[in-house]
Each structure stands twice: as C-alpha cells, then as structure tokens.
Amino acid sequence: MGQRANLVIVHNNDYELYYNHWCASSMPEKVFWGPVHTRQFIESQEKVSKTEWLDDIWAEGGVVMDLDRQYLLFYGGEDMMYDIQLRQLFIQLMHKVWTGWQVEWAEEGILDMANYVGVSPECVLSSRQATELRLLEPIASGNFVDGVASIQFGEDELLLFPLGMDFKEYLYSGSEIIEHIDKTQGYSKIIWKDWAYQDEIPNSGFHVDKVSRTLQFWHAEAIPNILAIVKECWPGWNISRFANHYDSQVAAAKGRLVILERDNATLLEELKKNLLREPNDPVQHAISIAELLGESRKEVQVNPDIFSHTEYHLSLEEKRTILAYALKSYSDCRDSS
C-alpha cells in the first residue's frame, strides 16, 4: 500500500534525496504551484541517504528540482501519467507559474531522475524478467485497448493493429512479431473514438517500416529503461522514440490513424478540478483500514513507511489565486498568437 516517490533538491552542484510514501499519485498537483511552494514541500519530507533510491519497481513518481539551473523534472499522477494531451496543457500552465524555469516530464521516470544527478542506473533498475512472445493478435472493437501499431509493409501497404494492455510486451517481443503478422487482421484505417473508452486518447503506440527496418514508438506512462531494452530486442533496426508522441505516429500513418482530441475548454475544466480538489490524509486512511482489519480479528502488520509523509497544503484561496494567474496568462498568450 502506498504511492512511493523520491524527491530531489539540487543545489551548489550537489543533491539531497527525500522520500515520501504517498505523494506519487498526486505529484503533478504538488509541484504545480511554483518554485517556493515546491521547495518547501520537498524539504518538509523525510530526508534519506543517497543510497536509498527507489528502484523502478517501487518508484511511482518523483521530482528533481535543480535550484542552480532552474530546471524541474517530474513524473507521477493518476490522470496525467496516462494522458499526454492533458499533461501537455498542464505543463503549459505550469510555465506561467514557473517563470524562467525549464519544466520537463521524465519519460523514463526514476531512471531519468538518477541520470540527471549522476547516479548509476544500476541503483534504480531492477533485474528484467524474460517476457513471452506477444504477437499482434485480433482485438474486436469494444474491447479495452491502450494504443495502436501502424505497420508499413511496402510503399503502398500500411495496416493498423489495435494494441491490448501493456504495449511494452509487443516491443519486448522483438521483430519476430512482424514476421508473424496476419495481414487479414489489420485495418486500413482506425478512427480512435470507435475504440476509445469514453473520450480517452491512446496512451501508447508504435510505427514500423519493414522496408527501412525502422521502429519508432511513444508512450504516455513513464517507463524506465524502455529505449535501451527495445534496442536490445530489435538488433539491426533503427530505433527511436517519437518526440511529439501520438502526433508523430498520426503523421507516419499517412492519415489512416485518426485521433480526435478533446477541446481546450474540456481539458482546462478537468485540470482545475484536479488542482483545486480537497486533499485527503493517506496516513489516516491507511490506519483506518488497519483498524478495521484488526476488528475482524485478522493479523495486521503496519509498515512503518506509511508514516513517511508530511502534509504540505496551500489554502484554497492561495491555490485559486495562483491558478487564476496561470489561466489568464495562458489565455492572453493564445489570444496574441
């Protein structure tokens, strides 16, 4: 139980490492409010030794705040972890609050954080387990899908394949998945809204050009070491990550993949709701669950790490003031462009 995160302050070419057991799922909302509040939030958490980095199994969020270079690197959250469109708008709003700072999402999560401060990857990467071959198999419309693969077989032959849960398994299967494709199961065109749950956009995808032996992929979730693993699984291929995410795959699919984005007004309402919602007390919630289990005469052992959490909250009035400023600045920039 928990949403574990490492938090880092860089200052005078050195860093301090902190730990919080509960803030990974709310990390975007914690760091939105600007440098002063973010620094106070980080420094109020449990300071740990530099040997106590979480690894890629346990780390679900994190932040590096570099005071020397005015650079912020973060990842986490419930909605933004899997929704690139929402996250892109969120970071645009953050720039209005973090004036003069460079703000970036950690594509590879805890590994990006460790790399930034010069910590060896071995300190944060667990041993990778062998995965079974996962082929591109037919998925009927209406079933849950995360993303889409677009395969260029030849100059005039391109097919699309919906992807089931955990697209990493396809990539980690290597180029063998291309050799076993049943083309009769592919689609000449996919309109994503016909496959999406509610109005969600895909959260992952990849494009393969079989002739040029090129693989490009993208993912919303922060996935440590994925680029290195995919290169290892596809020897002899040109591998890269789509810098512009699903927009780049849409372009590579030559109009055959249609993703209808939500309008800005809808996204802004969702962000405002997330940023202004009342915080809960995760420690007290965990204690309450333990007490209920104890009352049912079940043996309960409480992990002392659940207490590694210090609340840091701005008042609702402070939040509204900062958010109103960010929204006005964002609106003014759009009007002037």
d(CA 181, CA 170): 12
d(CA 174, CA 154): 20
Residue 216 near residue 230, CB atoms below 8 Å: no
CA angle 122, 125, 130 (to 5 degrees): 120
> Would you place residue 129 in the very low, low, confident or very high pLDDT band (cuts 50, 70, 90)?
confident
* Mean pLDDT of all residues in 89-109: 97
Identify the pLDDT of residue 242. Answer: 94
Whether 47 shows a pLDDT value over 80: the answer reads yes
Using DSSP's 3-state secondary structure scheme, residue 46 falls into strand
Identify the pLDDT of residue 302. Answer: 55
**Four-residue CA torsion sign, 15, 47, 97, 60:** positive
d(CA 135, CA 48): 43
Identify the pLDDT of residue 133. Answer: 79
Mean pLDDT over the full length of the chain: 90
Q: Specify the amino acid at residue 173.
A: S
- The total of other beta-carbon atoms located within 10 Å of residue 179's CB is 9
Per the model's pLDDT, the better-predicted residue between 336 and 153 turns out to be 153
CATH number of 147-258: 3.30.420
* Mean pLDDT of all residues in 284-301: 56
Identify the pLDDT of residue 283. Answer: 52
User: What is the four-CA torsion angle of 277, 282, 288, 292, rounded to 10 degrees?
Assistant: 100
Query: For residue 39, which phi and psi values (nearest 5 degrees)?
Result: -65, -45
Identify the pLDDT of residue 289. Answer: 53
Find tokens 């207490």 and name the residue. 307
Pairing of strands 71-75, 61-66: antiparallel
Identify the pLDDT of residue 123. Answer: 97
Q: Where are the domains of the chain?
A: 5-126+278-336, 147-258
Chain centroid offset of residue 299 CA: 36
> Would you place residue 325 in the very low, low, confident or very high pLDDT band (cuts 50, 70, 90)?
very high
d(CA 274, CA 283): 20
d(CA 229, CA 173): 11
Per the model's pLDDT, the better-predicted residue between 165 and 178 turns out to be 178
> Would you place residue 294 in the very low, low, confident or very high pLDDT band (cuts 50, 70, 90)?
low
Whether 308 shows a pLDDT value over 90: the answer reads no
- The total of other beta-carbon atoms located within 10 Å of residue 174's CB is 18
Whether 27 shows a pLDDT value over 80: the answer reads yes
